[in-house]
Amino acid sequence: MIPRSVKTFAPATISNLGPGFDVLGVAVHAPGDFVLASRQKERGLSFSVKTDQTHVPQDPERNVAAYVAQLMLRELKPSFGVQMILQKSMPIGSGLGSSAASSVAAAMAVNELLPKPLKKSKLLRFALEGELFACGSLHADNAAPSLFGGGCLIRSYDPLDVVPITIDSSLVWIVVHPHVVVLTKKARAILPRSIPLCSAVRQWGNVAGLVLGLARGDRDLIKRSVEDVIMEPARARLIPGFDDVKRAALKAGALGCSISGSGPSVFSIAPSMRAARIISTAMTTSFRRAAGVSSDVFISRTNLCGANVVWRKDA
């Protein structure tokens, strides 16, 4: 039976993972965005937002979840309309794939209400249109892992080719989100248009090393490979205290530490839950001491599910 209402969840994601700019991403368990969607008789979308966050657009013409939902309704032409509530718990401009989580949760929700729902893989296209709308660029390294879960390699954008990557189950992700805002558009604008060949070679050596290290759970190899010689040097300036936080994380036992997406969130990889708690404390303490900035911490194993349906109601 087709449900009348659904609630979906799409998780936050850490993209780039150090060297893998635009090609690597991984899903975590929290934070994430929820979407409630119900069928309504009137065609089209009724949209509202429930959030404690500031700067979340309430206007459906400016909100990415509404944009994705409207796109799907226009293309798939169901015989009903959709009433949607975005429960936005993720901060925007955090570097955690906030727009991707909203897009993915919205796409999943509309899809579940359809008489013949599409496969997950068919939903990626809609989520990517959301990314283009929200960030001005078509990047898949948040949307793909948020939708599919696990680690994803975006081998190519033309044509789009998403390759699942294995991540050793012992590894733990730490994300520290300092309370400062960096907009993806700005963080992308400061990137170099061209790079020295020698830096590119170093970067693709690290990308390959990281993919192998994550798959094998090879701690030493991960440690050596989480090195970004291109984006991190440019973007670190946008994050007050970044150098201190990174130093503190590595000193506390992190296998790697770099900027999550376009920042300002900073991620670390820990070899165990216990180590993750120690490392996260070192990172938040360092943000406070070095830059007087408070922060939120998320500790999570790899989220292997990705976006999922929280509940369905038929009545």
Q: Which of residues 39-78 bind a second copy (CB under 8 A)?
A: none
Is residue 295 within 8 Å of 308, Cβ to Cβ? no
Is residue 123 within 8 Å of 147, Cβ to Cβ? yes
Per rule CB under 8 A, is residue 156 in the interface with a second copy? yes
Per rule CB under 8 A, is residue 23 in the interface with a second copy? yes
- Count the residues in the chain: 315
Per rule CB under 8 A, is residue 168 in the interface with a second copy? no
Per rule CB under 8 A, is residue 217 in the interface with a second copy? no
Per rule CB under 8 A, is residue 201 in the interface with a second copy? yes
Per rule CB under 8 A, is residue 222 in the interface with a second copy? no
Please pick, from the candidates 48, 179, 196, 274, the single residue that binds a second copy as defined by CB under 8 A.
196
Task: Give the H or E element holding residue 99.
Answer: helix 98-113
Per rule CB under 8 A, is residue 202 in the interface with a second copy? yes
Is residue 69 within 8 Å of 45, Cβ to Cβ? yes
Residue of 312, 307, 251, 241 lying closest to 279 (CA atoms): 251
Q: Give the active site residue among 13, 184, 284, 302.
A: 184
Per rule CB under 8 A, is residue 223 in the interface with a second copy? no
**∠11-15-20 over CA atoms, to 5°?**
155
Residue 184 annotated among the catalytic residues of the structure: yes
DSSP 145-158: HHHH-SEEEEEEET
Please pick, from the candidates 53, 163, 169, 233, the single residue that binds a second copy as defined by CB under 8 A.
163
How many Cβ atoms from other residues are within 10 Å of residue 158's Cβ?
6
Exposed/middle/buried for residue 147 (C-beta within 10 Å: 0-12, 13-18, 19+): buried
How many Cβ atoms from other residues are within 10 Å of residue 311's Cβ?
10
Q: Give the active site residue among 8, 13, 129, 131.
A: 131
Residue 139 region, left (φ>0) first, then alpha (ψ -120 to 50), else beta? beta
Least separation in angstroms between CB 93 and a second copy:
22
Per rule CB under 8 A, is residue 214 in the interface with a second copy? no
Least separation in angstroms between CB 41 and a second copy:
46
Per rule CB under 8 A, is residue 315 in the interface with a second copy? no
Least separation in angstroms between CB 47 and a second copy:
34
How many Cβ atoms from other residues are within 10 Å of residue 304's Cβ?
14
Least separation in angstroms between CB 183 and a second copy:
19
Question: What's the per-residue H, E or C state across 255-275?
Answer: CEEEECCCCCCEEEEECCHHH
Residue 61 annotated among the catalytic residues of the structure: no
* Residue number, 201 or 305, with CB nearest to a second copy: 201
Which residue stretch of 2-10, 86-94, 155-163, 253-261 sits at the interface with a second copy (rule: CB under 8 A)? 155-163
Rg (CA), the chain: 19
> Which residue is it, tokens 């205290």?
241
Which residue stretch of 34-42, 223-231, 246-254, 275-283 sits at the interface with a second copy (rule: CB under 8 A)? 223-231
Backbone angles phi, psi at 271, to 5 degrees: -80, -10
Please pick, from the candidates 10, 96, 165, 248, the single residue that binds a second copy as defined by CB under 8 A.
165
* Residue number, 178 or 263, with CB nearest to a second copy: 263
* Residue number, 54 or 194, with CB nearest to a second copy: 194
Binding positions for a second copy, rule: CB under 8 A: 19-24, 153-157, 161, 163, 165, 191-197, 200-209, 211-212, 215, 221, 224-225, 230
Catalytic residues: 131, 184
